[in-house]
Amino acid sequence: MKKNEFLKKIRIDNGLSRSKIAKILDVSPVTIERYENNKTDFNASTKYIQGICALYGYNPEIFNYEEIDDNLIKKYKLSKKEAESKKEKIERNTLLYEIKRIS
């Protein structure tokens, strides 16, 4: 599948809407829509790609490929320990953002 299709699939498979993931990662829902519709260039270092990979346990380098197959998915899937560490960092950042926003 194309990388934009994979990006959308992992979001949907995890039960998150664009607006929910946008809030978690502090990005615009329009940003997510652009990536998922292949209307923006993928860069593994962007905030959204880094965040989505941290949440779902993938190495962002997976998005350096135009086509993503099962072999790449297995290769770039993070270990459970690595994935938990990255997810905790995202959750801490989200909490800090919420605290700053309401202060």
pTM: 0.75
* Per-residue confidence (pLDDT) for residue 91, from 0 to 100: 64
CATH class of 3-102: mainly alpha
Q: Say whether 77 sits in a helix, a strand or coil.
A: strand
- Residuewise pLDDT in 10s, the chain (103 residues): 999 999 999 999 989 999 988 888 888 999 899 999 999 888 777 888 888 888 888 999 999 999 999 999 999 998 888 777 777 776 666 555 555 555 5
> CB under 8 Å to 40, separation ≥6 — which residues?
31, 34
How many residues can be counted in the chain? 103
